[in-house]
Amino acid sequence: MIDSIKKALSVPIKDMKDIIHYEGRIGGQLFGPIPEKQNREFFCLDERTWVWHEEWSDKFGRRHSTTTRYDVRPNGIFKTQGNSVYRRLSDDELLNFYEAVKLYGDKVIPELKKLANQ
């Protein structure tokens, strides 16, 4: 499937990292349009790790970024941002994460399958 996706994409694909980046760009659009000069990615890194990454400029033009990693474990879902320790998701965060993963399955996976079948 990876070779099919590489062939179907209009951007040069060298390895799995490029496919994950493409996947992240699709996932970043799940919650609406991305404002100009901003970047947002949401992707599944492996069987138990999800990543949400955002970059933006403040009113002074300084670039900022934040990366949130979600770790799906048998005893719950945990997240970390930056260098902070992992902490269990609250009930509201858990619901939001569930909705994000559901949207991902509805939108991103079919897009990747469509690319693989071209």
Q: What is the pLDDT of residues 32-80, one digit of tens each?
A: 888 887 899 998 888 899 999 999 998 898 999 999 999 999 999 999 9
pLDDT confidence of residue 5? 43
Count Cβ atoms below 10 Å from residue 98 Cβ, excluding itself.
12
Across-strand partners of 68? 52, 81
What's the pLDDT band for 6 if we cut at 50, 70, 90?
A: very low
Does the CA dihedral 91-70-43-67 come out positive or negative?
positive
Report pTM. 0.76
What's the pLDDT band for 118 if we cut at 50, 70, 90?
A: low
In this prediction, residues 69-94 reach a mean pLDDT of 94
> What are the structural domain ranges in the chain?
2-117
Q: Where are the beta strands (DSSP E) in 1-118?
A: 39-46, 49-57, 63-73, 76-81, 87-88
